[in-house]
Structure 1
Amino acid sequence: MSVNTVPAARSTRGQKAAGLTMIGVAIAILVGLAAPHVVYPVFLMKALCFALFASGFNLLLGYVGLLSFGHAAYFGFAAYICGHVVKVWGLSPEIGILLGTLTGAGLGLIIGGLAIRRQGIYFAMVTLAFAQMVFFLALQAPFTGGEDGIQGIPRGMLFGLISLHDDMTMYYVVFAIFLIGLLFIHRVIHSPFGQTLKAIRENEQRAISLGYDVNRYKLLAFVLSSGIAGLAGSTKALVFQIATLTDVHWHASGEVVLMTLLGGVGTVLGPTVGAFLVTGIQNYFAQVGAWVTIIQGGIFVACVLLFRRGIVGEYLAFMERRRSRKS
């Protein structure tokens, strides 16, 4: 093969990969549109909310290399804000989701500004400590309802035109929010900003030596990640019409870590696959009671041992090996 044909071959492979990606996206959208006619819509909405939550968390862990044990703080507190705004203030659901998202991003700005001063396990412990503070704030604050939470949150009318009382209508709104969030994450990680985040993940000292303000990039990624978590939490509050301490508890932070690891850290669709897997286990094995945690743990151990990169990560690695052998 001549020198001139090498770039042409690479360009052809890139075009094929892009074409396959577009086909995959189109198929995924069609499946998402048809899914509520086959599967219980409320289950799908729960899975989509957690998939968006895990995707936001993956933006921080998979592309910056920062492990946060406190992401439930942004997810759960945004749900409280959305519920309070919609139920008590009587504002429309889109305003509630917007304010919940901004609350998640604002908390991320405050907590992230302090947490990024540390690295490794110290960073993780700082985020966990702040998350526990947010948990006790949610427990004691008068507007959260304490242990009862905020119940009976009205779904209302989206933009004053679309009633969200019907589960099918609500599903398509949640699906649209999920797609917008996923496309936003895809755009971020494939932008120059996203490439800089990957450089920081791979070698932070080299990024510093090249003149990048590493802490500023980390903080911005933290704010974006927490904002997406807030978007997911606000949406979930409207779906189930309730905001409780469960969503702000550290167990929720552990679950989102599990979802991301199972699906594949550093992949766009990995957290979605992990979220559907974990949510499906919890939903369809609920009748076995406490055994569901043992089943979940067994699957997690099996995936860690057999799929070190996660389900999607191993699939992508397999396809890459096939392309390498063919070339």
Structure 2
Amino acid sequence: MTGKSEPVQSGLASAHPRAKRIRIAIIMVSLAGLLLAPHLFYPIFLMKLLCFALFASAFNLLLGYTGLLSFGHACFFGGAAYFTAHAVKIWGWSPEAGILLGVAGAALLGLIMGAIAIRRQGIYFAMITLALAQLFYFFCLQASFTHGEDGIQSVPRGKLFGLINLHDASNMYYFVLAVFVIGLLIIWRFVNSPFGMILKSIRENEQRAISLGYSVNRYKLGAFVMSAALAGLAGGMKALVFQFATLTDVTWQMSGEVILMTLLGGIGTLAGPIIGAGMVVTLQNYLATSEFPVTIVTGLVFMACVLLFRRGLIGEFFASKLGRSLGFRPDS
């Protein structure tokens, strides 16, 4: 037994440093590409991609690492967009203060919705989140501060910390990029903390986690609130990028889009939702002016990925022989 296990252990030990070096190289190349991207692509397109990548990553924190499928995450994304847009335009708040209000509002909505929804599991949990999100949608439709179907338009971007003019597309892009990187770092730290390890154990075997003495509902609620807050961060950024907040941001279709992005890239991986968001946003952008219906094309791509890549694009790569030989794990 000892003679057979030693080569395996040594192989794993040698693979992990290599995987670490590969990750560092990928991160450095990606950051360099993102810094140079505004000179090659339309900045608004890039900012939209970053906002949705952060939104999908926030949703993946709940689905991929906790095992909870929410059909109502548009509530936090769109709600934060409304809060930020209203604070910046009507109250005259600075952009950073407006975004913080959006994050706080989304976290509060997540606390209320999560406290109700986590009492159930599986499809019942998903349906409760959908029902509560629809209630919020009709609230946004009727509330006076949201301006109904017109939404909140002409939202000023203002000056970041009173110094940096965000009406300049280049300044706005690098602000969005900085927030995106900070959001990913928060998710990475959250996932790799003892709290995140417990969430993974709940995902794998909830009854065993309960038997070990963990208050499962508290951990679920914590993950739900954190996911909602990060989704709100993405929504507040989107409101400033496009300078409006509308009902489109709180519809159930938006919740469906973020689920699609996460599944395409691969749930339970840090890079998967980013890749999935990039695919969906790129398809929407480049097919918008064509004769091809975007939803049908996106649906066909999703069907192909479900049939060929059950774990998503990144998930399948990590689970492949090449991915394992490089030291990656399916939940990397």
Per the normalisation by structure 2, the TM-score is 0.94
Q: How many residues were matched structurally?
A: 324
Q: Could you say what secondary structure the match of 1:287 adopts? A: coil
Instruction: Supply the AA of the counterpart residue of 1:243.
Output: A
Q: Could you say what secondary structure the match of 1:198 adopts? A: helix
Instruction: Supply the AA of the counterpart residue of 2:122.
Output: G
1:143-154 map, 5 Å: 143-154=145-156
Unaligned runs of 5+ in 2: 328-332
Please say if 1:179 is aligned against 2:181.
Answer: yes
Percent identity, aligned pairs only, is: 61
After superposition, what is the alpha-carbon deviation per residue over 1:245-284, rounded to whole angstroms, capped at 9, x for unaligned?
0001111000000000001011101001010100111110
Query: How far apart are residue 244 of structure 1 and its match?
Result: 0.3
Query: How far apart are residue 288 of structure 1 and its match?
Result: 3.0
After superposition, what is the alpha-carbon deviation per residue over 1:87-145, rounded to whole angstroms, capped at 9, x for unaligned?
01101000000010111111000000000000000000000000001101111111111
Alpha-carbon distance in structure 2 between the residues aligned to 1:68 and 1:117? 13
**From 106, 111, 121, the counterpart of 2:108:** 106
Query: How far apart are residue 202 of structure 1 and its match?
Result: 0.4
Distance 1:234 1:183, change over 3 A: same
Query: How far apart are residue 5 of structure 1 and its match?
Result: 7.1
Correspondence for 1:86? 88
After superposition, what is the alpha-carbon deviation per residue over 1:137-189, rounded to whole angstroms, capped at 9, x for unaligned?
11111111111000000000001111100111101110111111011111111
Tell me if the contact between 2:15 and 2:325 (Cα under 8 Å) persists in the aligned partners: no
Correspondence for 1:284? 286
C-alpha RMSD of the superposition: 1.5
Instruction: Supply the AA of the counterpart residue of 1:48.
Output: L
Unaligned runs of 5+ in 1: none
Alpha-carbon distance in structure 2 between the residues aligned to 1:21 and 1:68? 30
Alpha-carbon distance in structure 2 between the residues aligned to 1:101 and 1:10? 41
Per the normalisation by structure 1, the TM-score is 0.96
**From 190, 193, 198, the counterpart of 2:192:** 190
**From 251, 254, 270, the counterpart of 2:253:** 251
Correspondence for 2:266? 264
Instruction: Supply the AA of the counterpart residue of 1:167.
Output: A
